[in-house]
Amino acid sequence: MAHDPSAPSPITTGLKGLCPRCGKGHVFKGFLSVQPRCEVCGLDLAFTDTGDGPAFFVMSFVGIVVVALALWTEFTYEPPIWLHLVMWTVLSIALSLALVRPLKGVLMNLQYHHKAEEGRFEK
């Protein structure tokens, strides 16, 4: 597979929620809803299927960060349990909402960049 040097970076465009082909049009029409096609170059975005990928990576990252911070806070300051519940619930929700859209954009753009498609058995 030859790499096109003029193609936009899939990571940069994915984090910004931009089209994987032109790098200008937006791929999201809502928070996580994908547009049917790019508004600039007309790329059909129906090929994108990230599945549970973004949720898995968000849960893994947020879980590690929140548990590490909760343990550090407990051993350092020994706050009451209600404070733990409030702090870590708010942080978990905020980090999850902040990370899921950029990660979905990156996974969509990497699918396009690497021409990923459903696996098939050859006969």
Work out the average pLDDT over 42-68: 95
Question: Residue 1 above 70 pLDDT?
Answer: no
- Looking at residue 4, its pLDDT comes to 66
81: left (phi over 0), alpha (psi -120 to 50) or beta: alpha
CB 103 within 8 A of CB 17: no
pLDDT, tens digit (0-9, with 9 covering 90-100), for 61-110? 999 999 999 999 999 999 999 999 999 999 999 999 999 999 999 999 99
77: left (phi over 0), alpha (psi -120 to 50) or beta: alpha
CB 44 within 8 A of CB 55: no
pLDDT range class, residue 7, cuts 50, 70, 90: confident
CA 34 to chain centre: 13
